Copies of this chain bind each other. A is one copy, B any other.
Amino acid sequence: MPAAAIPAPPWRAPKKPPAARQPLSAEAVLSAALRLVDRDGLDALSMRRVAQELGTGAASLYAYFANKEELLEQLLDRVIGEVPLPSPAAPDWADEIKRSCYASRAVFCAHRDLVKVARASIPVGPNSLRYTEAMLAVLRGAGIPDRIAAWSLDQLSLVVVADAIEAAIHAERGRRTEADSAPYFAQVRDYLANLPADEFPNLVAMAPTMVEGSGDERFAFAIDLMLGGLARHARGGDGR
């Protein structure tokens, strides 16, 4: 008669806990990756850690993404999908563009430094395409010629991304609010003010000005500068 309940040999036992994980998919990987970036920042996003978040190994991810770059690309597109699309029916086109730029910046800043991956400016993801389409509709609706519209949109995106990256860098270094940043900017100002005045007369004189203005103010200025140059191409002449 066989002995009941023979314990499994311990050295052969461990297997793995089923972990109750759903069967893995590109969607699940992206969600895990985004969770990780939001929690620990872009530098913490390694293939191993994403896999760990899903209770698996790094090799499994390569079934859904050719490489890390592709994963990041799709992750960025997913975030861009959070940006509300501008409406071509808005009464003031310039205002609508401006509002949309602010919205983009806000979305990027809400995901730590993920925006750093936005390098190659040509957008290919579905959400990026939708956004580009909507922006083009607004610009063309304002009577801006196609060439100007296409190139300006490039430049606007560039400014938004660059500004979001800068904001993210500051935030990562603990300068999240204006109050947090004050000591840092004061330091920069003092450094500039104490340069040799004969070689750097302008920098010395402008030291306070150089660090003036909040991130929001500088961003607003950049967008306005761009739109100011753009307005003269819109319907109705030079746009003043």
Residue numbers of A with Cβ under 8 A of B are: 119-122, 129-130, 132-133, 136-137, 140, 146-152, 154-155, 158-159, 162, 165-166, 169, 188, 195, 199-203, 206, 209-210, 212-213, 218, 221-222, 224-230, 232, 238, 240
A195-B129, A225-B230, A229-B229 given; A121·B166 CB < 8 A: yes
| Complex contacts, A120 vs chain B, CB 8 Å | 166, 169
Does B155 contact A158, Cβ atoms closer than 8 Å?
A: no
| Complex contacts, A119 vs chain B, CB 8 Å | 165, 169
13 pairs of residues in contact across A and B, judged by CB atoms under 8 Å: A119-B165, A119-B169, A120-B169, A130-B199, A133-B201, A137-B201, A150-B209, A150-B212, A155-B159, A158-B159, A228-B228, A228-B229, A229-B229
Does B221 contact A151, Cβ atoms closer than 8 Å?
A: yes
Nearest Cβ distance between residue A41 and chain B, in whole angstroms?
Answer: 15
CB < 8 Å neighbour of A147 from B140, B147, B149, B209: B209
| Complex contacts, A232 vs chain B, CB 8 Å | 228
Does B169 contact A213, Cβ atoms closer than 8 Å?
A: no
Nearest Cβ distance between residue A119 and chain B, in whole angstroms?
Answer: 7
* Nearest B residue to A238, CB-CB: B240
Nearest Cβ distance between residue A109 and chain B, in whole angstroms?
Answer: 16
Does A203 contact B147, Cβ atoms closer than 8 Å?
A: no
List the 3 closest pairs (A to B, CB-CB), nearest first.
A228-B229, A229-B229, A225-B229
| Complex contacts, A210 vs chain B, CB 8 Å | 150
A129-B195, A162-B162 given; A137·B229 CB < 8 A: no
A203-B129, A229-B228 given; A222·B165 CB < 8 A: no
| Complex contacts, A224 vs chain B, CB 8 Å | 229
| Complex contacts, A148 vs chain B, CB 8 Å | 221
Known pairs A146-B206, A155-B225; list 18 more (Cβ under 8 Å).
A119-B169, A120-B166, A129-B200, A129-B203, A133-B199, A137-B201, A140-B202, A146-B209, A147-B212, A148-B221, A150-B206, A154-B222, A158-B159, A158-B162, A224-B229, A226-B226, A228-B229, A238-B240
* Nearest B residue to A146, CB-CB: B209
